[in-house]
A and B are shown apart, each in its own frame.
Chain A
Amino acid sequence: MSDITKQSLTELVKNIKDKKLSSTEVTKAFIDRSEKSKKLNAYITEDFTSALNKAKKFDQKPNLDLKLPGIPMAVKDLFCTKDVKTTAGSKILNNFVPTYESTVTDNIWREGAILLGKLNCDEFAMGSSNETSFFGNVQNPIDKDLVPGGSSGGSASAVAGQLTPITIGTDTGGSIRQPASFTGTVGLKPTYGSCSRYGIVAFASSLDQAGPMAQNVKDCALLQEIISTYDPKDSTSIDFKRNQYNKELTNNIKGKKIGIPKEYRVDGMPKEIEDLWQKGIQYVKDCGAETIDISLPHTSYALPTYYIVAPAEASSNLARYDGVKYGFRAKGENLIDMYEKTRSEGFGAEVQRRIMIGTYVLSSGYYDAYYLKAQKVRKLIKNDFDEAYKKVDAILTPSTPSSAFKIGEKTNDPVSMYLNDIFTVPVNLAGLPGISIPAGHDTKGYPLGLQIIGKAFDEQNILNIAFAMEEKINFKNKITDWWIK
């Protein structure tokens, strides 16, 4: 069967179940394409030999009742994988080989999937362009020298470039949805507490969530069904009634009330983003839903709040990298000198910047002025959503204020880089689910995404809305394979 890598996850699962394709054929096809796609720099660690062996083993005794029977899959290098190097895109974890498996990846392998390798990402998931990775920039399959977004940039590039049928990323302030938007793919950030954080390299623990990144909404729903489980190993994992997201997926959204928040019309937003949003509003109306103008008055305070809360939590989480228990160690004259040199040489510039911000806002004399203040504003931001959800079932916004930008364009100005996440950050602060779906192209031909934000634990609803809109939008990603020719 030709063009295996062009098939969606749903098609591949069906073809394997119908015995039209074997796991070995599928795995080999994705390995071949990955081998030809080194220019994208999507992988940090390849595990191809082992993947092929697992596929052969699967084919000898295939269990076709599984949800991902013999499906190869590469994952973001922030998930700990037993006996496979896990770096978080950092020099400081360059030699770290976990002795345990993250719950999310464990759920995936239990359903029959096979690890292809570990995908590039911004260092400790801190970045919006994949340019902070110790392992170098990732190319966007859409165009040469274009960032794939971040922090799950390798994941987005690998899905859009068809190096993996589907993948998982993590999202602390937009790290799934923004790269999905930049690469013409679908990315879901689930409700905080939906997917276990156990075994995921921690960035900001009150915001981090794992989620699927896919070619289409149905594939995304299928993976969400698998990775969302209650896990006693994560004390913030929530034991709620989870839907069968794929099985229950429907495009019937008649009568749903969709909020359009006026505060997302920000100064300097390109006209094409506004036009895309208007088109989105028309699409949901065409699907029989009703749109309602709403207000989320504290939206403009979300980014400043995030840049206190996230670095504060990061500075605390990253204290563990001291050159003693695991990871890189620099030589020092004494213990303190060893700590300071290890962290100075082991962490990249952006990570050091954020640790410093976090340390400062938590330090004596500044805690109330910054950290406590931010936690209070975070409450106001959450209240905005609670208030809005009294009137609407979901909220529709653009995913990002622009399309993908060129590599190097924003690296010298941290604040302009941070502004990328202006529409995605409020969702993490409020702990809500959000999905980005490709909805059009800008004048350069680069993809643009729309975001649907749901109530807490209402993933099914936003998946349904996304599914209905996807049908109307009929988006086609323009992938020319420029990096192969």
Chain B
Amino acid sequence: MSIDLKTIKHISKLSRISVDEKKAEKLAGDLNSIFEFIEKLNELKTDNVEPLTSVAETTLKLRPDEVKSKNIREQIVKNSPQDNEDYFVVPKVIE
């Protein structure tokens, strides 16, 4: 299997990371060598193996659905690059 530039462009779009031609070529090279290494897993037959989704074999605890953090609006927007009163500000999305 080989990851071509078209695939790199596709993944870059999915992951919302802009990639120019030069970077795309470097990434294709790196990803191909990493996937070559990952292909080793195909040596194993795993048809009847249950996938492991969590190492902790416990069921999640339930808790009452209560509001615990009150009046923290200021804290929530404190680190935003741009905000206006209680809102995050982003580039215009509606024409």
Contacts and interface: CB of A to CB of B under 8 A. Distances in A.
Interface of A: 95-97, 99-100, 192-193, 206, 232, 235-236, 238-239, 298, 300-301, 303-305, 307-308, 315, 319, 322-329, 332-341, 343-344, 347, 352-353, 355-360, 363, 370, 372-380, 382, 413-415, 418, 429-431, 456
B58 A376 contact: no
B80 A340 contact: no
Interface string B33-51: 1100111111110100111
Contacts of A96: 79
A251 B27 CA distance: 50
A328 B92 CA distance: 18
Given A304-B37, A356-B12, A324 B49 contact: no
A323 B81 contact: yes
Given A356-B27, A363-B10, A363-B14, 6 more contacts: A315-B15, A326-B81, A337-B18, A343-B16, A353-B30, A360-B7
B41 A304 contact: yes
Interface of B: 3, 7-8, 10-12, 14-19, 27, 30-31, 33-34, 37-44, 46, 49-56, 58, 60-61, 63, 72, 75, 78-82, 88, 90-93
11 contacts: A99-B78, A100-B75, A192-B55, A238-B56, A319-B16, A332-B91, A340-B16, A356-B31, A360-B31, A375-B53, A380-B49
Given A373-B46, A414-B34, A341 B18 contact: yes
Nearest to B68: A233
Contact of B56 (A232, A339, A413, A431): A431
B50 A305 contact: no
Contact of A97 (B10, B60, B72, B79): B79
Main secondary structure, interface of A, reads helix
Contact of A304 (B30, B40, B58, B91): B40
Contacts of B58: 238
A352 B55 contact: no
Contact of B30 (A303, A375, A414): A414
Contact of B17 (A300, A356, A413, A431): A356
